[in-house]
Amino acid sequence: MDNYLKIRNFGPVKDATVELKPFLVFIGGQGTGKSTIAKLLSIFQDKLWYMSILSEKNESSLEAFIKFGIHNYFNEDTYLEFMNEETHIVYDKKKFSLSYKGKSSPEELQPVFSSWFEDSTRKFAEISQSDLLDIQKLTMSQNEAEKDNQQPLQDQLKSYLQNYLEIQNRLNLIQSVFSNMGAKLYIPAERNLMASFAGTWANMKVAGLPLQDKLLNYISYFEKAKKEYPVYHIPSLGITYKCEGNSEGLLINGTDRLLPLTECSSGVQSLLPMLMVLDYCIDKSIYGGYVIEEPEQNLFPDNQLYTLRYIVSKNNVQGSSCIITTHSPYLLSAINISLLAGKIAGYEKYKDEVGNILPEEYHLRPGTVAAYALGDEKEYCRDIMNGNTNTIDQNYLDTTSSIIGQEFGKLYKLYVKSLKDNQ
């Protein structure tokens, strides 16, 4: 396993090893750690966070954990390890370390927390905050400098600018090292609250209300999406959302009246903003991937299917990574259909026939999906992919249905018996 995340004793996650794939799915009950793993992956796959852990004090790396609300999950024996093609991150003995294993890296980039890294970021911070950046000083004419005998200042400025460019070049190199990494759009499970907050997110942020940054960020993108898409359709629900000036809402069939989002069904409140935000961020290429908590939230099974296929199609167009947390076996079944279609479509003979059943835009290629079930007492983090079929294990999918079926069968027998007894 070349690309992975290992977690021990971090919040609800006791012991988990996750293989990183472009399409990653976690299923489990409440409090099993699905969101915790998704948040860790969001942090470790954000190159900007890498810049933060290269500062003088390792503690600055905890800011991202604070924003996600998981900073209190660290224990005395917490161990975290993240590995991808180029980067290796370890948290052990209360300290983060980072190393770069790219083939073409300069020698200075090889050591963990090298002095080169720390010196670069520290100097850049000092320079950026220096009084020497005073615009009036920088724009001082040569005559004024000579008249006021400011030549030493000019020499200092010249030296400063040279140093600035040198450090900037260093930082550009650091960023290029992690250029394959990008922050992920995080769509939280609490998004239903957004219907009540729409239009007021900026005031809430200024007021410092105790809302997590990820939710405020999501709300802000919804506000931007409404301006970008003044008319937005969701074919599966047969609805149209319209934003005109200060008026916005769902068009009521056959009229020009608008139904406010706060008065819509919980499913619409959850789904519509999510799709609009996804479209906006993908169209603008703002993020390198996305995390969606419970995309099935408040949706009937057929709309869960639509939502999953919408996500798959967007993922295929962008070629980004996607992380999903879910409670829904329906969603896993929908993923299996996309995986099976992608596998069969690999045979040229059947490609067209498969496409007639499920269009290619909804296919998932074999080997691009990893799925894990969390919370089992015997095996906390269980890989539920079938290595032979490259689909989610049918035995896992059938477990819940089997339990229900067995109980129904027993009760039905008792029902038949009761009818005979009362004849």
Q: Which two tokens mark 92? A: 């052990």
Q: What is the DSSP string of 145-175?
A: HHHTT-HHHHHHHHHHHHHHHHHHHHHHHHH
**Who wins on pLDDT, 354 or 317?**
354
**Who wins on pLDDT, 343 or 51?**
343
* 340 phi and psi angles, rounded to 5 deg: -65, -40
Per-residue pLDDT at 196: 62
Count CB neighbours of 97 within 10 A: 15
Instruction: Grade residue 129 by pLDDT with cuts at 50, 70 and 90.
Output: very low
Q: What is the pLDDT of residues 3-18, one digit of tens each?
A: 999 999 999 999 999 9
Q: What is the mean pLDDT of the chain?
A: 78
Per-residue pLDDT at 67: 84
Give the 3-state secondary structure of 237-249.
CCEEEEEECCEEE
Residues near 100 by Cβ (< 8 Å), separated by ≥ 6?
86, 87, 88, 109, 110, 177
Instruction: Grade residue 54 by pLDDT with cuts at 50, 70 and 90.
Output: low
Q: What is the pLDDT of residues 67-78, one digit of tens each?
A: 888 999 999 999
Per-residue pLDDT at 266: 86
Q: What is the pLDDT of residues 152-202, one digit of tens each?
A: 656 665 665 666 566 556 555 555 554 444 678 899 888 877 666 555 555
N-term to C-term CA, the chain:
65
User: Are 110 and 116 a contacting pair, CB within 8 Å?
Assistant: no
**Who wins on pLDDT, 420 or 148?**
420
Q: Which of 132-136, 137-141, 385-389 has the lowest mean pLDDT?
A: 132-136
Per-residue pLDDT at 10: 96
Q: Which of 52-66, 98-112, 234-248 has the lowest mean pLDDT?
A: 98-112
Q: Distances from the Cα of 167 to the Cαs of 51, 121, 177, 181, in angstroms? A: 14, 8, 15, 22
Residues near 110 by Cβ (< 8 Å), separated by ≥ 6?
99, 100
Q: Does the pLDDT at position 314 exceed 60?
A: yes
Per-residue pLDDT at 239: 86
Q: What is the pLDDT of residues 346-357, one digit of tens each?
A: 888 888 999 999
Instruction: Grade residue 60 by pLDDT with cuts at 50, 70 and 90.
Output: low
Instruction: Grade residue 104 by pLDDT with cuts at 50, 70 and 90.
Output: very low
Q: What is the DSSP string of 225-278?
A: HHHH-SEEEETTTTEEEEEETTEEEEEPTTSS-EE-GGGS-HHHHHHHHHHHHH
CA distance 263 to 185: 27
Instruction: Grade residue 373 by pLDDT with cuts at 50, 70 and 90.
Output: very high
Q: Does the pLDDT at position 33 exceed 80?
A: yes
Q: Does the pLDDT at position 145 exceed 70?
A: no
Per-residue pLDDT at 141: 46
Q: Does the pLDDT at position 330 exceed 80?
A: yes
User: Are 277 and 241 a contacting pair, CB within 8 Å?
Assistant: no
Torsion of CA 280, 284, 288, 289, to 10 degrees: 20
